[in-house]
Chains A and B, each alone.
Chain A
Amino acid sequence: MFRKILIANRGEIAVRVIRACRELRVRSVAVFSEADRGARHVRMADEARAIGPSAPAESYLSIEKILQAARDAGAEAIHPGYGFLSENAEFARACQRAGLVFIGPGAEAMELMGSKTRARAAMKAAGVAVVPGAERPVSGLEEAKREARQCGYPVLVKAAAGGGGKGMRLVEAEEELPAALRDAASEAEASFGDPSIYLEKALQAPRHVEIQVLGDGRGRLIHLGERECSLQRRHQKIVEECPSPLVAAYPELRQAMGEAAVQAARAAGYSSAGTVEFLVDTDRRFYFLEMNTRLQVEHPVTELVTGVDLVQRQIRIAAGESLDLEQGQIEWRGAAIECRIYAEDPENNFFPSPGKIQQLEEPAGPGVRIDSGAYPGWTVPVEYDPLIAKLAVWAPERGQAIERLKRALAEYSITGIRTNLGFLCRILDSPEFRDGRLDTGFIGRWMSRAAPAAEIDEGEEQAAALAVALDSLSSRSASGSAAPEPASRWKLEGRLSLLR
């Protein structure tokens, strides 16, 4: 086993990896930008190294600075987390050249899966169904028209080097095709430095179901079942669960998709933890979408249901251990649901809401797991992703897990910044979610419906009014108030004007 690992990431995922290191008795080295000196991952790690300015390109994305920090600290391996350099094959190669172990798959597998068109071709060759469409980038309008007619409208124009919805356009009819090709190519060029685009059939109301795989690079490759991630807003996942309600209804799907995922990973020569994403249509046919060659944000639901610690497994495999788990040993127990806590304001167009956290109270009790990079008094930086924490729950059955998640969300309290906690709570109440009728259009439809008027609780209103009145009294008292200071004279005036 390694003696020391550097974690080339920040926030909740760096905290998650530090926890795995500690349980394996491996020393952890955090890295931090100027914005993150006081971040939780720096406070928790055994060692920490500054790697430069706040802009990601000059710190968390700088291969050179991260390798230097690893050398200075005497680390033997680097865990990349997700995002940042985690899917950068060049980084994996640079680690190897520097004599460091990259905790993840080989660079070749990362490269193959990084190109959407190459990945599609490889999967097709391996006998895995892909979403109908092209295996090569389109070269011009006439070719695009031909391909679109072949797979039938609506089609998606997608960036070959893409991901996350960038460089993607939905085309309903042929006359929209020229503009879509132009826009998608320029967005792809701007986002990925590569204007290549390709065409794919747009499935109707698909579900997003992905399979977790784990391989040791020595011939053993298994799957750990699925995660349903159909609840997405602007291609960003919000709520994820295992088992998928679809698999719960049709158990044979898990085995079929699991086998396809293992086949896909094997074809790519994959080792470490990875995720094969599928779209599932209304007839329960599934199609390879893409493979993520890293740890997923939503990995905790798989851990809760299977009992396998994915981060520890990644580290042990990277250290040269063989995987001592066989497919037949994997069991799925109960139901887990995770939701992502974002610093954003659902009542104001989901604008980001960075700033200082005043109060932070986390839920606890049976079946609750929190992965968080936040603490009270911490300032959520403006430079990075708005994901500040993940709340996951486990219960014997899905219905109980939903109630538990609602209970935990109600216990969760973050003030000082805006978060999507209330928004998440309302989603859990929708009858479609309760019935497990999910697809990737769910959130869009749910938001476009008029929100049902929230029930007015007169007792709550009374309590809120009383607390505000008492707070304005104590703010004015000479002994000084314990309440947070108003941020400006303007606000102070507003507060005092409450008192008549």
Chain B
Amino acid sequence: MKWELVIDGKARSLELDECGAGRGAWELQLDRRRARADAREVEPGVYSLLIDGRSYEVKIESAGEGYCAAVNGRRYEIHARDPQRRQRGSAAGRSGRQKVASPMPGKVARVLVKEGDEIAAGQGVAVVEAMKMQNEVRSPKAGRVVSLRAAVGAPVAAGETLAEVE
């Protein structure tokens, strides 16, 4: 089996062969580095891996569209390589509408723009309060505020759209 991965922003390829079914023994190759591994899922989402005699414990979380894997206190962001999606993403960045989303759940404390305002990239759109702290959420691009959904006092979820900028 072969995976095309992006690990911490770098394209990598992983090849994996099972040595006999269901024994947890694998041969793997990450780019040019080969190894033998013994794998157990010891707890839900927690893998104990013995790779060439070294013991690793990896904790897996889904993060956005991919995964976050924690090993020895260090986090690796890992997702599938998908050149098509990438292109669509960057095209949307240059033109068209873009959402300004709240990075965390909380409550809208202030709205800093009006519909129809011309705003600069990085300009504050709204202030979201969470855990007794006020956090300014900024626009990812310059443009006009076409749809303002943030209302003062309203609760917002993580990833919820506060406004759209065109």
Query: Known contacts A352-B133, A359-B46, A382-B130: does B105 contact A490 (CB below 8 Å)?
Result: no
Nearest chain B CB to A125 CB, angstrom units = 35
For A421, the chain B residues whose CB sits under 8 A away are 73
Residue A462 at the chain B interface, CB threshold 8 Å = yes
| CB-contact partner of B5 in A422, A465, A493, A495, under 8 A | A465
- Give the size category of A's interface with B: 35 or more
Cα-based distance from A415 to B59 in the complex (angstroms) = 8
Q: Among the listed stretches B50-58, B91-99, B111-119, B142-150, which one makes contact with chain A, having 4 or more residues with CB under 8 Å of it?
A: B50-58
Contact B61 A463 (CB under 8 A): no
Segment 378-414 of A: residues with Cβ below 8 Å from B: 382-386, 409-410, 412-413
Q: Is A193 an interface residue (CB 8 A)?
A: no
A471 within 8 A of B: yes
> Does chain B have a CB within 8 A of A354?
yes
| Contact residues of A between 35 and 87, Cβ < 8 Å to B | none
Complex Cα gap A194–B52 (Å): 66
Cα–Cα distance between A470 and B132 once the two chains are bound (Å): 40
Please tell me if the beta carbons of A494 and B71 are within 8 angstroms of each other in the complex. no
Give the distance in Å from the alpha carbon of A352 to the alpha carbon of B129 in the complex.
9
B interface: dominant SS:
strand
Find out whether the CB atom of A484 lies under 8 angstroms from the CB atom of B45.
Answer: yes
| With contact pairs A352-B104, A466-B16, A468-B67 given, residues A500 and B2 touching in the complex (Cβ less than 8 Å) | yes
Expressed in whole angstroms, the minimum distance between the Cβ of B127 and any Cβ of chain A is 12
Please determine whether A422 and B75 come into contact, CB atoms closer than 8 angstroms. Answer: yes
Interface presence of B44 (CB below 8 A) = yes
Q: Which residues of B contact A354 (CB under 8 A)?
A: 104-106, 130-131
For B141, list chain A residues within 8 Å (CB). Answer: none
Contacts of B14 in A (CB 8 A): 465-466, 469
Q: Output the nearest chain A residue to B39 by Cβ-Cβ distance.
A: A470
Q: A484-B44, A486-B62 are in contact. Are A469 and B82 (CB under 8 A)?
A: no
* Residues of chain B lying within 8 A (CB to CB) of residue A490: 65
Contact yes or no, B45 A415, CB < 8 A: yes
A462–B28 contact, CB under 8 A? yes
Interface centre among B35, B39, B64, B130 (most CB of A within 10 A): B130
Query: In the complex, A409 Cα to B74 Cα: how many Å?
Result: 11
Could you say which of A383, A467, A470 has the most chain B C-beta atoms within 10 Å of its C-beta?
A467
- In the complex, which residues of chain B have a beta carbon less than 8 angstroms from the beta carbon of A482? 41, 44-45
**B106 touches which one: A352, A384, A413, A487 (CB < 8 A)?**
A352
Please tell me if A450 contacts chain B, counting CB pairs below 8 Å: no
**One of A106-114, A128-136, A452-460 at the interface:** A452-460
CB distance from A335 to the nearest CB of B (A): 22
A345 to B134, CA, bound (A): 14
For A456, the closest partner residue in chain B by CB is B8
| CB pair B104 A471 closer than 8 Å | no
Question: Contacts of B4 on A, CB cut-off 8 Å?
Answer: 500
B75-117 at interface with A (beta carbon < 8 Å): 75-76, 78-80, 82, 103-107
CB <8 Å contact, B58 and A464: yes
Q: Are B76 and A483 in contact (CB-based, < 8 A)?
A: no
Shortest A422–chain B CB gap in Å is: 6
Which of B41, B80, B106, B131 interacts with A498 by CB under 8 Å? Answer: B80
Residues of chain B contacted by A349 (CB below 8 angstroms):
135
Q: Residue B49 at the A interface, CB < 8 A?
A: yes
Q: A499 within 8 Å of B by Cβ? A: yes
Query: In the complex, what's the smallest C-beta–C-beta distance from A377 to chain B, in angstroms?
Result: 12
- Closest-CB distance, A347 to chain B (whole angstroms): 9
B71, A353: Cβ atoms closer than 8 Å: no
Q: Which of B1-30 contact A (CB under 8 A)?
A: 1-5, 7, 12, 14, 16, 26, 28, 30
CA distance A359 to B43 in the complex (A): 10
Q: How far apart are the CA atoms of A384 and B107 in the complex, in Å? A: 12
Q: Is the CB of A484 within 8 A of B49?
A: no
Residue among A351, A457, A463, A491 making CB contact with B49, cutoff 8 Å? A463
**Whole-angstrom CA separation of A472 from B47 in the bound complex:** 12
In the bound complex, residues from chain B placing their C-beta under 8 Å from that of A465 are 3, 5, 7, 12, 14, 28, 30, 69, 78
Residues of A within 8 A of B70 (CB): 413, 415
Cross-chain contact B66 with A355 (CB below 8 angstroms) = no
Question: When each residue 473-490 of chain A gets 1 if its CB lies under 8 Å from chain B and 0 otherwise, what string results?
Answer: 010000000111011001
User: Which residues does chain A contribute within 8 Å of B52, judged by CB atoms?
Assistant: 459
Question: Which 6 pairs of residues, A with B, have the shortest CB-CB distance?
Answer: A494-B65, A467-B58, A463-B56, A464-B69, A352-B131, A482-B44
17 interchain pairs, CB-CB under 8 A: A351-B130, A352-B104, A354-B105, A358-B61, A359-B45, A386-B133, A422-B74, A458-B33, A461-B30, A462-B51, A471-B45, A482-B44, A495-B66, A497-B82, A498-B66, A498-B80, A499-B1
4 additional contacts (CB under 8 A) given A349-B135, A354-B106, A386-B132:
A352-B135, A466-B47, A491-B64, A499-B1
